[in-house]
Amino acid sequence: MPESIVTAAAAVAALVAAGGAFYRWGKAEEAINGLQQSDERLQASIDQVREDMREVRNILLSQQRGG
C-alpha cells in the first residue's frame, strides 16, 4: 500500500510539474507574440519615417531647383 501512495504522489507531482511547464510555455508564446507585434509596429514606424524623409528630400530638391 505505501508503494501505491508513493506512486500516486509521484504521478500528481509529475502532473503539477507538467502543468507548470505548459503554463510557462504559454506565457513564453504570449511574450513572443507581443514582441512580434511590437516589431511589426516598429517596422511600420521606420517605413513611415523613410517615406517622410523621401518627401522632405523631394521638397528640398524642388526648392533648390527654384520650383
**Would you give per-residue pLDDT tens digits along the chain (67 residues)?**
578 888 989 999 999 999 999 899 999 999 999 999 999 999 999 999 999 999 999 999 999 998 6
Integer-rounded Cα radius of gyration of the chain: 29
Residue-level pLDDT at 63: 94
**E strands along 1-67, which residues?**
none
| Cα–Cα distance measured from residue 53 to residue 51, given in angstroms and rounded to the nearest whole number | 5
> Residue 6: what pLDDT?
87
Total tally of structural domains belonging to the chain: 1
Per the structure, the complete domain to which residue 48 belongs is given by 2-66
CA distance 3 to 28: 37
